C-alpha cells in the first residue's frame, strides 16, 4: 500500500528524509516520521490540536476502550485484512493495537494512517516507531475528502469517530472488503454529561451503511468504566463537547473524586459492494 503524490497521483517512494514521486514532486518527512501531503485547502480544516492528542493518548493508553479494540482485532482477523488504512486515525492507538495483534499472529500486515492534523500525527508516528518497529507503516497529513492512496489498494478501512467520505472509501477499498466505522451510541458517556449539563442530550447515531456499502453487522459495545479524577479531564478533553462547554460547567468535573460512566459504541461492519 503506497502513498500517492497529491499533485500527479503517481506512487511515492520513501527514503529517510522524504517521499518522492517519479515526476520529482517531493515531500519532506517530519522528524517524527509523518509526511504532509495536504494541498492548499479552500477552507482550512484544523482537526485536533496537540492538547487533544495528548489527552486522547493518555486516556486510551490506560485501556478504558480495550473492548472496542478487541472487536476491531476480531473483525480484521475474521476478514483476513492485512492492508489497513486508518482514516482520521488520531494518535493511532486503535490501528497500532490492531497491527500489533495481527503481527503477533504471524500475519504480515501494513498500515497507513491519515489525519488532517499534523500535531496529532506526530503522536501517531511516535507510537508506531515505539510499538511497531518491524511493520510497514506510513502516516500522512491529508483530508478524508482526498485520500493519498491508490484505487483498490487496501482491504480494510478503519474510520473511528472521524468524518466519513463514502466515495473516497469506495475508491481506495477493494470490492468485497471491509469498512469498520465506530460511532458513539445514544448514551455514550451519559453520566459524564449528567455531571456537566443541567439538561444532557442523547447522541443521535446514524447506524446505516454509507452509500456503496452494505451493512454486514452492527456490534453494540456497551459497558461501564470508573474514571479517577486524574483521567477525568483527559476523557472530557477528547469529547466533542469540550469546545462547546462553558468553563463553569467544565469545572464541575474538578469536584468529583471519580466517575462511573457508561461507554456505548456502535461498530458498523460494512462491506464494499
Ligand atoms: C474524534 S478524533 C478520533 C481519532 C481516532 N480515530 C480515535 O478514535 O482515537 C477525530 C479525528 O479526525 C480528524 N479529522 C477531522 N477532520 C478530518 C478531515 N477532514 N480529514 C481527515 N481527518 C480529519 C481529527 O484531526 C481527529 O484526529
Ligand atoms: Zn507527483
State the pLDDT confidence band at 9, using cuts at 50, 70 and 90: very high
Contact 115, 90 (CB under 8 A): yes
Enumerate helices (H) and strands (E) in the chain, giving the number of each. Answer: 8, 11
Q: What is the pLDDT of residue 258?
A: 94
Query: Mutate which of 50, 116, 242 to test ligand 1's pocket (most atoms within 8 Å of Cβ)?
Result: 116
Say if residue 37's pLDDT is above 60. Answer: yes
What's the whole-model pTM score? 0.94
Instruction: Give distance in angstroms: CA of 122 to centre of ligand 1.
Output: 14
Q: Which ligand is nearest to the CA of 20?
A: 2
Say if residue 240's pLDDT is above 60. Answer: yes
Say if residue 45's pLDDT is above 70. Answer: no
pLDDT, average across residues 227-251? 85
Q: Is 45 touching ligand 1 by the criterion CB < 6 Å?
A: yes
Tell me the torsion sign for CA atoms 268, 126, 143, 233: positive
Write the pLDDT tens digit of every residue in 113-148.
999 999 899 999 999 999 998 899 999 999 999 999
- 128 membership: H or E segment, kind and range: helix 118-131
Atom from ligand 1 closest to the CA of residue 60: 9
Per domain, the residue ranges of the chain are: 33-272
Instruction: Give distance in angstroms: CA of 13 to centre of ligand 2.
Output: 11
State the pLDDT confidence band at 100, using cuts at 50, 70 and 90: very high
* Total length of the chain: 273
Q: Is 113 touching ligand 1 by the criterion CB < 6 Å?
A: no
Q: Which phi and psi (to 5°) does residue 25 adopt? A: -70, 130
- Residues with Cβ within 8 Å of 271's Cβ and at least 6 positions away in sequence, in order, are 176, 177, 178, 179, 213, 214, 216
CATH 3.40.50.150 fits 33-272, yes or no: yes
pLDDT, average across residues 5-15? 95
Q: Is 85 touching ligand 1 by the criterion CB < 6 Å?
A: no
Amino acid at each position: 500500500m503506497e502513498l500517492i503524490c497529491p499533485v500527479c497521483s503517481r506512487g511515492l517512494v520513501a527514503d529517510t528524509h522524504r517521499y518522492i514521486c517519479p515526476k520529482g514532486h517531493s515531500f519532506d518527512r517530519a522528524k517524527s516520521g509523518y509526511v504532509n501531503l495536504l494541498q492548499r485547502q479552500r477552507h482550512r480544516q484544523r482537526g485536533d490540536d496537540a492538547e487533544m492528542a495528548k489527552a486522547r493518548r493518555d486516556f486510551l493508553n490506560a485501556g478504558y476502550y480495550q473492548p472496542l479494540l478487541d472487536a476491531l482485532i476480531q473483525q480484521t482477523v475474521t476478514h483476513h485484512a492485512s492492508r489497513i488504512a486508518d482514516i482520521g486515525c488520531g494518535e493511532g492507538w486503535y490501528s497500532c493495537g490492531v497491527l500489533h495483534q495481527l503481527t503477533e499472529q504471524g500475519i504480515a500486515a501494513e498500515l497507513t494512517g491519515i489525519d488532517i492534523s499534523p500535531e496529532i500525527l506526530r503522536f501517531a508516528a511516535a507510537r508506531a516507531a515505539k510499538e511497531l518497529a518491524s511493520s510497514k507503516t506510513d502516516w500522512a497529513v491529508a483530508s478524508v475528502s482526498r485520500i493519498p492512496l491508490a484505487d483498490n489498494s487496501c482491504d480494510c478501512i478503519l474510520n473511528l469517530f472521524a468524518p466519513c467520505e463514502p466515495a473516497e472509501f469506495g475508491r481506495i477499498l477493494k470490492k468485497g472488503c471491509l469498512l469498520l466505522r465506530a460511532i458513539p451510541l445514544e448514551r455514550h458517556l451519559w453520566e459524564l454529561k449528567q455531571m456537566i449539563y443541567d439538561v444532557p442530550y442523547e447522541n443521535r447515531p446514524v447506524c446505516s451503511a454509507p452509500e456503496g456499502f452494505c451493512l454486514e453487522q452492527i456490534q453494540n459495545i456497551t459497558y461501564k468504566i470508573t474514571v479517577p479524577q486524574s483521567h477525568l479531564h483527559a476523557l472530557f478533553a477528547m469529547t466533542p463537547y469540550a469546545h462547546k462547554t462553558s468553563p463553569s460547567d467544565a469545572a464541575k468535573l474538578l469536584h468529583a473524586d471519580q466517575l462511573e460512566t457508561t461507554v456505548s459504541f456502535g461498530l458498523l461492519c460494512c462491506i464494499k459492494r
